Structure 1
Amino acid sequence: MTPVLQWALPLALIMLALAMGCALLRMLKGPSAQDRVLALDCMALNGMLLMLVLGLHYSSKNYFEAALLLALLSFVSTMAMAKFLLRGEVIE
């Protein structure tokens, strides 16, 4: 691992954890349901990026597969929540 990567990866982990904390605050305090859904989607995105950085840090392919699975599940759940907020039902 290069010296730049040795200090960049822990810094990225800290920043992503901080971004997840900010999204959690928005999810808890959000003035509307749309803000809460957007904050939850942001948390899922930051979690996926956190897994990718951990995969780089530990040189493991398992983290990349878990990040892909999280990305797919968060996309589907965000679409379902958006459809529910728009129409009031998910399955027609």
Structure 2
Amino acid sequence: MIEFETALLALAAAFVVFGGVALYRVFVGPTTHDRVIAVNVAGTNTVIAISFVAAALDQPVFLDVALVYALLNFLLSIAFSKFNVEQGGVL
């Protein structure tokens, strides 16, 4: 039977792969909005992967890193949205 820590690390690896798939949309995305959403998805997958690694390795300090990264990801989305509205990019 698979150990709990190994399962968490496998899930973290799966979310890293999902984040890589989202990065494809960042480079190929037809519109700027698609690219911003893809960056957000990749950032969210990174936060989830860091959280799984923190649980697997029993290192709560990694959760602090994940929280800071999640806040930066959120602020990036807000900053881009504000910039886009000011430039007249919203229909």
* TM bracket, shorter-chain basis: 0.7 to 0.9
Q: TM-score, normalised by structure 2?
A: 0.86
- CA displacement at 1:56 relative to structure 2: 0.6
- CA displacement at 1:14 relative to structure 2: 2.2
- Shifted more, 75-84 versus 31-40: the winner is 75-84
Matched, 1:85 2:89: no
Distance in 1 (alpha carbons) for counterparts of 2:7 and 2:68: 25
Matched, 1:30 2:29: yes
Give 3-state SS (helix, strand or coil) of 2:9's partner: helix
Q: Which residue of structure 1 aligns with residue 17 of structure 2?
A: 18
| Count of aligned positions | 88
Q: Which residue of structure 2 aligns with residue 53 of structure 1?
A: 52
Distance in 2 (alpha carbons) for counterparts of 1:74 and 1:20: 14
Matched, 1:72 2:54: no
CA RMSD in angstroms comes to: 1.8
Distance in 2 (alpha carbons) for counterparts of 1:69 and 1:14: 21
Instruction: Work out whether residues 12 and 50 of structure 2, in 8 Å CA contact, stay in contact via their aligned partners in 1.
Output: no
Q: TM-score, normalised by structure 1?
A: 0.85
Distance in 1 (alpha carbons) for counterparts of 2:51 and 2:9: 12
Distance in 2 (alpha carbons) for counterparts of 1:27 and 1:17: 15
Give 3-state SS (helix, strand or coil) of 1:60's partner: coil
User: Structure with the greater relative contact order (CA < 8 A, sep ≥ 6): 1 or 2?
Assistant: 2
Unaligned runs of 5+ in 1: none
